[in-house]
A and B are shown apart, each in its own frame.
Chain A
Amino acid sequence: MSAPTVDADPAVLPETLWAGRSRMLMIQETLIGPFLFFCALVTVVTTAGIVLVLGTEAFRFFQMPEVSAVDFFFGTKIEDDPVSPRFGLLPLLWGTFVIAFGSSIVALPIGLLSAIYLSEYAPRRLRSVLKPALELLAGVPTIVYGYLALLLVTPVLKRLLEPLGLRVETFNSLSACLVVGVMVIPMVSSLSEDVLSAVPRGLREAAYGLGATKFEVSTRIVLPAALSGVTASFILAISRAVGETMAVVLAAGIRPQITLNPLTSIETMTAYIVAVTNGDASEGSAKYQSLFAVGLSLFAITLVLNILSGLVLRRYREVYN
């Protein structure tokens, strides 16, 4: 390795050769770097802040005399008793699981099918209309979905199921699952569509050349090639359903119970957090502190799902050049 040859007089430093730099410019140039660095630092500090706040406050919760960690993680009851309150996480976990599972049944197949349609079947003109429409749907705030569940979905469920002798409660997990499912469809379809479209044309053309039909190309060539991305989008959608708050609060209510009946009210972790803040729990009480422990569990679950989705995307990606 030889140093690059410089034709200029070695006694003159390179900086002085160029006289176009004003002092103002130099100040800008030196200050802007640290400023931008500070901006980037904010994102790291945010993560640290979330972990620290949730960690310390949850620790304080577990230190309280009326609280036991075992009872929190394995208890099946939440009771607001002034003498010996019970804080069992399991009913909340169950509620969250029901919503995540139920909404996945709605969102994952529909989202995937619509992604396949947009990337493989749709004529270009139609696609350029449908994609923005789905994006608009993704921009509808969750409170609107919650209101819609109360206004429309639950009454329709009542009218359909009550003649069959099933009792539908005003707050029920089925209608919450339906609206949360519809809510995450745009997310599944747009993320999956991105990876499906990224599968190289050559693969499709080779399959067509061998006499495959469009259906066979879509399901046996394109989908397997994009499987890692599709799986990653599924996991992200589940994570989104786990963290969903307002639609669930309005549609599924706040009754913590472990039940298989989707027509009764349940309580998710997010709904519990909202209920505690809006309730009459005084600051510093065990009930108030419990929201941080529940928040920490929620954060941990979504974090694991998000990391998992990233891993799936990177580890199992088929690389084409």
Chain B
Amino acid sequence: MSPSDAHFSPKASRRILGPVFGVACFLATMTGVVFLSILLGAVLRAASQGATLAETFDLLGRLARSTRSRDPDLAGFKAGIAGSLWLLGLVFALAIPVGVGAAVFLEEYMPPGRLRRVIQMNIANLAAVPSIVYGILGLAVFVRGLGSSRLAMGSALIAGGLTLALLVLPVVVIATQEALRTVPSSLRQAAMALGATKWQVIRDHVFPSALPGVLTGAILSLSRAIGETAPLLMVGAAATKVPTGLKDRFTALPVEIYKYASEANPKFQVVAAGGILLLLALLLTMNATAIIIRNRYGRSARG
């Protein structure tokens, strides 16, 4: 506190109310952190059942190696993990290029005006559409091909990938736009003045300096795609085998967790907890990477 505080003596009620409020705010902030620890602790305990750390790792290894089964001692997530990795690749290949392209178009090519505002509002709304609505869209358009049997893909991996790609597209666009906006316009003008074409300016100068922001957005959107369950349930992710191609039926890690968690046999709860540990390990690593990239490279551009 500064020395002037010595001369400042508010009424007792004002003196007390402030600190009480401060403590309340602090406690509110800590609920998140506390909850995260409780969550990890509870899942860890459910998965390990009092076993040692090494045994828990053995369990996770076993779960990662075996496929779905009616016997909780043999059940595992191999098909789900394989499906989720396929989906990760598909979303990466589909949503990131299109999302980044759309953001570059909106920020660098499209003149500001009414149309741009409308598209911008549309993207903001899309980002807040419930994921299950994307599931309905995927079901109607990709799985059933709008009723025509030639367009219908069935509950194939590619249908799931396309659905998730549409789901995360607005997130990619918004994150990339924010990253592009932090690039100072003097950089563009300098490159233009040296005779670079518009695309050269974007490709060689604007994009590289926006890359940390773009990467952060890309990783966060991929981790969102990995954790989604509802749209995949709608698309019909219920296979029990590891998919080998884009037209195979598939399943995903969170979908399998859901299936195991809704089993009546309590032994399956251990399996579900193990699956959640696998999923959280993957997701928290991805998100932490994204946050670190942003904090390391994003700060200078922001200030």
B192 an interface residue at 8 Å Cβ cutoff?
A: no
Q: Are B132 and A28 in contact (CB under 8 A)?
A: no
Please judge, given known A-B contacts A43-B119, A277-B234, A291-B136, whether A114 and B31 are in contact too, CB under 8 Å: yes
Q: Report A90-145 residues with CB < 8 Å from chain B CB.
A: 109-111, 113-114, 116-118, 120-122, 128, 130, 132-137, 139-144
Chain A residue nearest to B288 in the complex (CB): A136
Please judge, given known A-B contacts A39-B101, A135-B287, A136-B288, whether A239 and B128 are in contact too, CB under 8 Å: yes
A222 an interface residue at 8 Å Cβ cutoff?
A: no
Chain B residues with CB under 8 Å of A250's CB are 258, 261-262
Chain A residues with CB under 8 Å of B128's CB are 236, 239-240, 243, 302, 306
Chain B residues with CB under 8 Å of A260's CB are none
Q: Are A213 and B14 in contact (CB under 8 A)?
A: yes
Chain A residues with CB under 8 Å of B74's CB are none
Q: Which of B205-213, B241-249, B273-281 lies at the binding interface?
A: B273-281
Q: Which of B130, B140, B166, B279 contacts A245 (CB 8 A)?
A: B130
Chain A residues with CB under 8 Å of B226's CB are 141
**Measured between C-beta atoms, what is the minimum distance from A243 to chain B in Å?**
3
B139 an interface residue at 8 Å Cβ cutoff?
A: yes
- Which applies to chain A's interface (DSSP): helix, strand, loop or mixed? helix
What is the bound-complex CA distance between A130 and B291, given in angstroms? Answer: 12
What is the bound-complex CA distance between A268 and B31, given in angstroms? Answer: 27
Chain A residues with CB under 8 Å of B257's CB are 143, 147
Q: Are B102 and A40 in contact (CB under 8 A)?
A: yes
B269 an interface residue at 8 Å Cβ cutoff?
A: yes
B76 an interface residue at 8 Å Cβ cutoff?
A: no
**Measured between C-beta atoms, what is the minimum distance from A311 to chain B in Å?**
10
Chain A residue nearest to B95 in the complex (CB): A42
**Measured between C-beta atoms, what is the minimum distance from B230 to chain A in Å?**
4
Chain B residues with CB under 8 Å of A216's CB are 14, 18
Q: Which of B33-41, B48-56, B63-71 lies at the binding interface?
A: B33-41
Chain A residue nearest to B233 in the complex (CB): A274
B17 an interface residue at 8 Å Cβ cutoff?
A: yes
Q: Report A152-173 residues with CB < 8 Å from chain B CB.
A: 152
- Which applies to chain B's interface (DSSP): helix, strand, loop or mixed? helix
**Measured between C-beta atoms, what is the minimum distance from B24 to chain A in Å?**
6
Chain A residues with CB under 8 Å of B43's CB are 144, 147-148, 151
What is the bound-complex CA distance between A283 and B261, given in angstroms? Answer: 27
Q: Which of A4-12, A29-37, A81-89, A197-205 lies at the binding interface?
A: A29-37
What is the bound-complex CA distance between A139 and B281, given in angstroms? Answer: 12
A226 an interface residue at 8 Å Cβ cutoff?
A: no
Please judge, given known A-B contacts A29-B199, A213-B10, A240-B128, whether A113 and B24 are in contact too, CB under 8 Å: yes
Chain B residue nearest to A110 in the complex (CB): B28
Type the 1/0 row for B11-32, where 1 means its CB is closer than 8 Å to any CB of A.
0001101100110111111011
Q: Are A274 and B21 in contact (CB under 8 A)?
A: no
A76 an interface residue at 8 Å Cβ cutoff?
A: no
Q: Which of B24, B166, B234, B261 contacts A147 (CB 8 A)?
A: B261
Q: Which of A25, A141, A245 contacts B132 (CB 8 A)?
A: A245
Q: Are B18 and A307 in contact (CB under 8 A)?
A: no
Chain A residue nearest to B276 in the complex (CB): A144
Q: Are A39 and B99 in contact (CB under 8 A)?
A: yes
Q: Are A43 and B170 in contact (CB under 8 A)?
A: yes
Chain B residue nearest to A291 in the complex (CB): B136
Chain B residues with CB under 8 Å of A245's CB are 130-132, 229-230
Q: Are B122 and A44 in contact (CB under 8 A)?
A: yes
Please judge, given known A-B contacts A39-B105, A130-B29, whether A140 and B133 are in contact too, CB under 8 Å: no
Q: Are A295 and B229 in contact (CB under 8 A)?
A: no
Q: Are B126 and A47 in contact (CB under 8 A)?
A: yes
A-B contact pairs, 6 of them (CB 8 A): A29-B199, A50-B133, A135-B291, A136-B288, A143-B227, A152-B42
Given known contacts A35-B101, A39-B99, A182-B31, what 10 new A-B pairs fall within 8 Å (CB)? A36-B105, A43-B173, A117-B29, A142-B227, A147-B272, A147-B276, A216-B18, A295-B136, A299-B129, A302-B128
Measured CB to CB, the residues of A under 8 A from B are 18, 20-21, 25, 28-29, 32-33, 35-40, 42-44, 46-47, 49-50, 53-54, 57, 109-111, 113-114, 116-118, 120-122, 128, 130, 132-137, 139-144, 146-148, 150-152, 182, 185-186, 189, 211, 213-216, 218-219, 236, 239-240, 242-246, 249-250, 270, 273-274, 277-278, 283, 291-292, 295, 298-299, 302-303, 306-307, 310
Nearest first, the 8 closest Cβ-Cβ pairs linking A and B are A243-B130, A141-B227, A39-B101, A113-B28, A117-B25, A36-B105, A215-B18, A114-B29
